[in-house]
Amino acid sequence: MAYRKTEHYDETVTNGLMNHYKEILNLLGENSEREGLLKTPERIAKAMQFMTQGYEQNAVEILNSAKFHEPISEMVIVKDIELYSLCEHHLLPFIGKAHVAYIPNGWITGLSKIARVVDIFSRRLQVQERLTVEILDAIKEALQPLGVAVVIEAKHLCMMMRGVSKQNSSTTTSAFFGEFENDRTRSEFMKLISAELH
């Protein structure tokens, strides 16, 4: 039996994007009818829908789908969450990792849901600064915790491939709420995400 990959895409959106990408290839001086490029517009159209699927997802609903009552108030950290996003200024990728923590106030959520929240907001056209705050706001709204902290470290291909062409630069953004605005709690979080505990 032959291999058949099954994916689901909006046909209207796919066809519209394909037409535009075909025209882009021609405007760049390429021949969109040559063998190597014949399926490129379709591939890009589907890739773009995959990489922006976060628009169709609700982070608060995801967190609430695995929300459990627990009478604890100790820091919960999920660190080194891989993220892949598209810079909204150049539509080039930025790639990195997120470190997310919260202090429960009677409610916890499934650990995988924290990673899902990062994915939902990453899979949109983004700037790293807004991405950081959106992750924090979703956790804050769903769990109403005593505190939330988000730190993102990423490399931006718009800086590496074009413009200043700085391959070794990285960008760090952070957002803190509640108990994490306290120096001691924030310092503990920063120490823990920097530590090699393995």
Q: Which residues are catalytic?
A: 87-90, 128, 156, 158
Query: Rounded to 5 degrees, what are φ and ψ at 24?
Result: -60, -45
Q: Which residue has the tokens 């760090």?
A: 172
CA distance 63 to 188: 25
| Helices and strands per DSSP (H, E), number in the chain | 7, 7
The pair of structure tokens assigned to 51 is 């990489």
Residue 4's alpha-carbon distances to 1, 7, 55, 139, in angstroms, are 9, 10, 27, 38
Q: Name the DSSP letter for residue 87.
A: E
